[in-house]
């Protein structure tokens, strides 16, 4: 189903980047940066903050090991998706739905 | 990108069901049940608990309004995806990766 496909995609993307170096099941800062710049081009295109990746890493890395595990990654995806949805609902409401 | 597509899919699926009755931006219990049984067939196929949907609803509905908003829905998707990922990582480790 599309929902199960979407969940599989999230798992696949995470491991595509997390497997590149160091702990195979966690994203280093370099891996996180590569994932964000390659996979969230629309989201990052309006951003000029060179410290953005550092900030995101700091926010996500709740256990302070300087790596982002899958759980922490899903927190980011959930927050971004909620932000996109807020924008989407706002637009629907403006259009009178 | 595939990540942005996955996020769009989550938003689209939620609104497909949430728009059916009552508050257009929230899932009623009937809508949640329809979403789970239609979109998570693999996940639910092993489950025989008739109260499962009630339990999920109760767990998700953190603001106790008997409806699930998009934020609460993303909590479920994140938890399920983390569970799938745990299983996936376990299998990889067993295979020696």
Among chain B residues, CA nearest to A24: B97
Q: What is the pLDDT of residue A58?
A: 86
Residue identified by tokens 């479920």 is B76
Considering only residues 20 to 79 of chain A, which have any Cβ-Cβ distance to chain B shorter than 8 Å? 24-25, 38-43, 70-71, 74-75, 77-78
Task: Name the residue facing B6 among A10, A25, A71 (closest C-beta).
Answer: A10
8 Å CB contact of B25 and A89: yes
Q: What is the pLDDT of residue B4?
A: 93
Average pLDDT over residues B56-73: 89
Confidence of residue A47 (pLDDT cuts 50, 70, 90): low
**HEC-encoded secondary structure of chain B:** CHHHHHHHHHHHHHHHHHCCCCCCCCECHHHHHHHHHHHCHHHHHCCCCCCHHHHHHHHHCCCCCCCECHHHHHHHHHHHHHHHHHHHHHHHHHCCC
Mean pLDDT over the full length of chain A:
90
Q: Write out chain B residues lying below 8 Å of A1, CB-based.
A: 38-42
Among chain A residues, CA nearest to B70: A82
Does the ipTM exceed 0.85? yes
Interface size, chain A vs chain B, as Cβ–Cβ contacts under 8 Å:
100
- Looking at the complex, report in whole angstroms how far the Cα of residue A51 sits from the nearest Cα belonging to chain B: 22
Distance CA B25, CA B84 (A): 27
Range among A35-44, A88-97, B15-24, B63-72 rated most confident: B15-24
Structure tokens at A41: 């081009």
Confidence of residue B85 (pLDDT cuts 50, 70, 90): very high
Confidence of residue A64 (pLDDT cuts 50, 70, 90): confident
What is the pTM for the complete model shown?
0.89
pLDDT tens track for B7-53: 999 999 999 999 999 999 999 999 999 999 899 987 766 666 778 88
Among chain B residues, CA nearest to A38: B1
Confidence of residue B72 (pLDDT cuts 50, 70, 90): very high
Confidence of residue A91 (pLDDT cuts 50, 70, 90): very high
> Are the CB atoms for B67 and B27 separated by under 8 Å?
yes
Instruction: Name the packing angle between helices A70-94 and A2-18 (round to 10°).
Output: 130
């Amino acid at each position: 189903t599309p929902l199960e496909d979407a969940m599989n995609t999230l798992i696949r993307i995470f491991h595509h980047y997390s497997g590149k170096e160091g702990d195979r099941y966690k994203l280093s800062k370099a891996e996180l940066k590569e994932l964000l710049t390659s996979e969230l081009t629309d989201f990052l295109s309006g951003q000029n903050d060179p410290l953005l990746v550092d900030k995101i890493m700091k926010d996500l890395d709740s256990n302070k090991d300087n790596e982002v595990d899958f759980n922490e990654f899903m927190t980011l995806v959930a927050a971004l998706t909620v932000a996109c949805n807020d924008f989407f609902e706002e637009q629907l409401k403006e259009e009178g739905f």
